Chain A
Amino acid sequence: MTALTLTNVNKSFGEVHVLKDISLEVEEGEFVVFVGPSGCGKSTLLRVIAGLEDASSGEINIDGQTVNLVPPSKRGIAMVFQSYALYPHLNVRGNMTLALKQEKQSKAVIEERVATASRMLNLEDYLDRYPSELSGGQRQRVAIGRAIVREPKLFLFDEPLSNLDAALRMNTRIEIANLHRALDASMIYVTHDQTEAMTLADKIVVLRDGRVEQIGTPMELYNNPANQFVAGFLGSPSMNFLPEGLLGEGQNTIGIRPEDLFLADDGPLTARVSHVEKLGGDTNVIAKVNDHSVTARLFGQHAISEGEELRFAYTADKAYRFDTNGQRLR
């Protein structure tokens, strides 16, 4: 059973065509991440799925039911917003129960669901507090709790971690992963952060300019990118792109991931070091090959200093080739 099916969904705001012919499927229990640079339409796509925006054309199907004309509250979805969007005049309990009261659930059901959700999210001590009395992380947990109590068919997360600081972001990321395991629910998660995408997703949808660039598991996309955009977007530091002419003959582009470059005295790439990032476990070397910047990620600690000349090598099976349009050549 598929939790969500999009068929040729288009969305325009006046003249601006934001979503272009998007078709995809979310299986039941799957964690799908929409990722892409800002302005690629990923949030708009999520809002179309939620029903906050109408699709200009195409079909949206949630759990076997076409929902194009169904209002958001009846679509069986719950959404977690980037800005938390808690109701300021209600306490935590009120925030979590509002939707259930609107659905006319019985008191016992409401009581039980709030208890379960607050136990899962460690919110039991805060149920009587108001949003203004909570920290950022707690607010985000309340927002997630508000989604959980509804027991939706589909969870929608709109960049839920981008307002949190780095340490909290990592913890909350793990919490969301645990939550997905515990609830076994279908989730769609929008982010521009490729680390979140890689670590959370069962399936990643890479979007650019309102178009789906590639769909696949994180490792599929990483090992087998369909084009230069996907190759460059996933992976940190991002993939090096060098003109083929630099290494021999041809008009194409060669892509090599920073971790696939290694030091070799007879390597084909002669580079002058412009910057070194020593991270302890890794050393990132940013160097220039002619005018092209190259990043190499070397394992361990290396005594390399700026201005030094190094030679890098790579194995041929780790090099990707892209044609002039950015399409992968195999």
Chain B
Amino acid sequence: MNKARHNPINTAAMHGALILYTLIALFPVFVILINSFKSRRAIFREPLALPNADSFSMIGYETVMKQGDFFLYFQNSMIVTVASLFFILLFGAMAAYALSEYQFKGNLVMGLYLALGIMIPIRIGTVAILEMMVATGLVNTLWALILVYTAQGLPLAVFILSEFMRQVSDDLKNAGRIDGLSEYTIFFRLVLPLVRPAMATVAVFNMIPIWNDLWFPLILAPAEETKTLTLGSQVFIGQFVTDWNAVLSALSMAILPVLILYVIFSRQLIRGITSGAVK
């Protein structure tokens, strides 16, 4: 680091603020994790204590493994999240490319129309969506969720990606055209790699709400074989009795995959492979 431009007080203050924020953000996760390894009584007696020899218990995890088809829920969540992200990124990038690259009548209006979805929450249309899914026979299938989440994610994806695609050098695309590349090759081989950081941003923004969503799984796919993790965990929460051990264990396990996906995408965010393309 350049000593001339960084004084130690500023650096300390900056790190202090970041560390504080990290602690605040991680605290709930930490509490969930430690309590998932404690016996029921220990959870209520001292919620913030670490598990020790007395209070340590795997009962929550055992319940989760025994009751309900936890791995199926897990798999459902994974399929829905990954498939939705794939379609959001694919269709979002394609629409964004069309809007930013080709001048056609109604280009601007189309862009505004697609961006409108950012301002209107998709849940307003829940009843209509349910009717539509019933009519098409998609209720209680994972496709119902994937389609809804794709629709929910597209507006922001198109908005962010078209802004980034406008910045991709025209010369590069034209060089491709002169070299005989098709528009598809230009899109997939030249443009997409250059907007990878933006794609990662969109993926991260969309991933967590989809993974955590309870609303649409509950309404569109509540059947046993299509339950997602979040919905599956609800069996432990009752109106009168809640099995906190099981809930906390299920949540702890639910955190892991998002964490892994997040690490993958955030590496893309910071990777600067694009330098040297132009100038």
Residues of A within 8 A of B (CB): 47, 50, 52, 71-74, 77-79, 81-89, 98-99, 102-103, 130-134, 136, 139, 146, 158, 163
Q: How far is the CA of A264 from the CA of B193 in the complex (A)?
A: 67
**Do the beta carbons of B178 and A83 come within 8 Å of each other?**
no
Asked if B178 and A139 sit within 8 Å, CB to CB, the answer is no
Task: Indicate if B67 sits at the interface (CB-CB under 8 A).
Answer: no
Determine if B177 and A87 form an interchain contact, defined as CB atoms under 8 angstroms apart: no
Chain B contacts for A52, CB-based, 8 A: 174, 177-178
Known contacts A84-B278, A88-B276: does B190 contact A72 (CB below 8 Å)?
no
Identity of the chain A residue whose Cβ is nearest the Cβ of B172 in the assembled complex = A85
- B194 at the binding interface (Cβ < 8 Å): yes
Interchain Cβ contacts within 8 Å, total number: 84
Residues of A within 8 A of B278 (CB): 83-86
Query: Is B179's CB under 8 angstroms from A132's CB?
Result: no
B11 at interface, CB cutoff 8 A: no
Give the residue among B171, B179, B181, B193 with the most A Cβ atoms within 10 A: B179
> Which residues of B have CB within 8 Å of A158?
171
Q: Mark B187-213, 1 if CB is under 8 A from A, else 0.
A: 001100110000000000000000000
Q: Of the candidates B177, B276, B277, which one forms a contact with A73 in the assembled complex, judged by CB atoms under 8 Å apart? A: B177
Q: Name the distance in Å between B174's Cβ and chain A's nearest Cβ.
A: 5
If A98-B179, A102-B179, A102-B180 touch, whether A88 touches B277 (CB-CB below 8 Å) is yes
| Distance in Å: Cβ of B74 to nearest Cβ of chain A | 35
Interface residues on B, range: 20 to 34
> Smallest Cβ distance from B132 to chain A, in angstroms?
41
Whether A72 touches B276, Cβ cut-off 8 Å, given contacts A81-B171, A88-B193, is: no
A163 near B178 with CB under 8 A, answer no
Q: For the complex, give the distance between the alpha carbons of A89 and B171 in Å.
A: 16
* Cβ-defined contact, A139 with B276, below 8 A: yes
Q: Are B276 and A79 within 8 A (Cβ)?
A: no
Which residues of the other chain, B, contact A163 by a CB distance below 8 angstroms?
Answer: 279
* Cα distance A102–B179 in the bound complex, in angstroms: 7
Task: Determine the chain A residues whose CB is within 8 A of the CB of B169 once the complex forms.
Answer: 83, 85
- A to B CB contacts below 8 Å, 8 in the list: A71-B177, A77-B178, A81-B174, A82-B171, A88-B194, A88-B273, A99-B178, A102-B180
Taking A52-B174, A81-B171, A81-B174 as contacts, is the C-beta distance between A86 and B179 under 8 angstroms?
Answer: no
Chain B residues with CB under 8 Å of A78's CB are: 178
CB nearest neighbor in A for B179: A99
- Contact of A81 (CB < 8 Å), options: B175, B190, B193, B194: B175
Kindly state whether residue B275 has any CB partner on chain A within 8 Å.
yes
Residue in chain B with minimal CB distance to A14 = B103
Contact B276 A83, beta carbon cutoff 8 Å:
no
Q: Determine the residue in chain B with the shortest Cβ distance to A73.
A: B180
The 10 closest A-B pairs by CB, nearest first: A132-B276, A73-B180, A88-B277, A102-B180, A99-B179, A85-B171, A81-B171, A85-B175, A131-B276, A83-B278
Per-position 1/0 for B238-279, Cβ under 8 A of A: 000000000000000000000000000000000001111111
- CA distance in complex: A101, B113 (Å): 41
